[in-house]
Amino acid sequence: TAVVIPKTITVHLGRPNESARNVTVSFRDYIANVASSEVYPTWPEQALRANIHCQISLALNRIYTEWYPSRGYSFNITGSPGVDQAYVHGRTVFDVMVRLTDELFNTYLRKAGTVNPYYAEYCDGKTVSCPGLKQWGTVSLANEGRSALSILRYYYGSSIETARTSNIAAIPQSYPGSPLRQGASGTSVYTLQRQLNRIAKDYPAFGKLTVDGAFGPAMAETVKKFQRQFGLTADGVVGRSTWYKISYIYVSVKDLAELTSEGETASGVLSDGAWGGVTLRTGSRGAAVEQLQFWLNTLSQYVSSIPSVTVDGVYGSGTAAAVRAFQRRYGLTADGVTGRATWEAVYAQFVSIQSDNGTPNAYPGAALRQGDKGQNVRLVQFWLKIARTVYTALNNLKVDGAFGAATKRAVQAFQRYFGLSADGVVGRATWNKLHEVYTDIANDLLSEKLRPGEFPGTLRRGASGRAVRELQYYLYLMSAYEPTLPSVTIDGEYGSATEKAVRAYQRLAGLTADGVAGRATWNSLYARASRLRLSGPVVTVNRMSYPGAPLEVGSAGEAVNYYSVLLARIAYYFPAVSSPGVTAAYTEALAEGTRSFQQLVQLPATGRVDADTWTAAEALGIALLTGALDASALALPAAGGEV
């Protein structure tokens, strides 16, 4: 979805459930009002800039995620500082706030590699504590000479960046305007399939859909399962209420409105979309152009304004037109030229779609063979096409999503080259080898003479080149899972850091620790790294012991913050449980959430977190977080029912 700077925003002058007036004002006036209501005009300018960036980003996050419309409300945000941020209708605003708002209103925060506006949670840092930015703390940091961006990174981490868009329009409504049912097709169906597949990662009983843009019987059954799960009429038709409930649950499981949201690259995994440093334009040719064309072709299935392109490695007028369409859609300069900003934005959108459709690049669970069609076939064809850029003996073929005779021959040629059974069927082993070869080529690890993992000869300090890059990649992957191994930079230079990492690995593997990568070290490292590469990332959880005394209204600190995180996680999966979000202050709203949780697990509904409530919340919250518990397999009881 494109980030839109709205011309106007509708504000509810109270908490969401309170009877209060809605007012619609210009977005610029809204931000100037919030800034005047939240912070002081006498603060250093860099502190004001940091705070206004947060205020803009928080508001845009609410709009981007359709946070309130998906819950049935007719407004975009509240004026309550305890829920969103302070807005005082009709107040006098300060000149400095108007000046800074006019400059910054179309600039927002995001995490590197993502597109959505960041949920920039903040608080004053004196009377209230929170995990995000501390307003009074920005004053101290600005007085130390920090810039606004440096202040933001101090609180939110080094991956925070600012993004500017010229996409200023009315707030779009994602609902297509009329119900979708069996027989429908198009980009709205693609969007639903993508979101339902992401939701199914947390509710496996829904099953996984083929993302093809066609509303068939299987999709109707999945919609019915979703509707039953969330208390809607189970008719298999996606009307407005079902559409926005799907949107609401999608935002919840993807955590788009939390400080910690999906989109970061898993530790130890190299990106297959790293910027290569060369701007692409009409007349460019090669593997990078093919990469871009494949991403655009995939996006065109979900975004009707982006035309499909031929994946042929030639940057012609069709590719330039698709790039311009993407740039217009996502608020970039629409020049049809792919520089770093456009490349990374296209890749981020592609990865988002992949992650929603399941684990990115994971084996689809069933072998692909002649006669099959769809995105997984398209992905196999693309990997084969990229493999041919290094291994020229392989077959060239068209990326069209149809597994025909030419694709079968190309698969057989690949299988023969890499020592697999040449049956022309893409099973798990062939799929994994294709992905391994593709990722290694994308990261410049391979030459035509060597296959992945093939011993290149002894490597030692002073060596350089692709073989060293491949060694460093395997060490880098291992370091994400083995704390005794230092991380290394993948630069193709065998220096002291690489030598040190090799020695550490050799000690771990029981080999002679001489810092030289001979055949035994290479083979051992490749075997271990390959196992980790296929097993996926590890989820770790930092637990906190019960604080020793009950948490109740008035309590504050780390224990309250930890408990509120658990409760928020549980509330995403169990509609009967309410949560005010992540907070370090135990408010009446948090007590109400605690009572709803206690009713769910049949504990006395006191609203106080005693040892039993703490233990139950931690057990359920962590089980849901790590996937140890299938939420969809649990009954969702009415108050007093059993879990």
Rounded Cα distance, 359 and 356, in Å:
8
pLDDT tens for each residue of 173-229: 667 778 899 999 877 888 888 889 878 877 778 888 887 778 999 999 999 999 888
Q: Helical H runs in 174-260?
A: 187-200, 217-229, 240-254
Q: What are the residue ranges in the chain where pLDDT is below 70?
A: 1-2, 166-174, 248, 251-274, 301-302, 304, 352-362, 365, 442-444, 447-449, 480-483, 531-544, 569, 572-573, 575, 581-582, 622-643
Please, are residues 191 and 1 in contact by the beta-carbon 8 Å criterion? no
Q: Which one, of 180, 38, 63, lies nearest residue 122 by Cα?
A: 38
Give per-residue pLDDT as tens, 409-451: 999 999 999 888 999 999 988 988 898 887 777 666 776 667 7
Whether 79 and 14 have beta carbons less than 8 Å apart is answered as yes
CB atoms within 10 A of CB 283: 10
pLDDT at 215: 92
**pLDDT at site 623:** 59
pLDDT for 541 equals 41
Take residue 100 and report the two structure tokens written for it.
């800074």
CA 588 – CA 203 distance, rounded (Å): 31
Q: Mind giving me the DSSP string for 20-48?
A: --EEEEEHHHHHHHHHHHHS-TTS-HHHH
CA atoms of 466 and 443, how far apart (whole Å): 10
Burial 369-396 (b: 16+ CB within 10 A, else e): beebeebbbbbbbbbbbbbbebbeebbe
The residues pairing with 67 across neighbouring beta strands, listed in sequence order, are none
Give the tokens for residue 30: 């809204």
> pLDDT at position 349, please?
78
**β-strand partners of 556:** 585
Residues facing 629 on adjacent strands: none
Nearest-10 Cα torsion for 498, 500, 505, 508 = -170
Task: Supply the angle between the helices 558-573 and 588-600 in degrees, to the nearest 10.
Answer: 50
pTM over 0.75: no
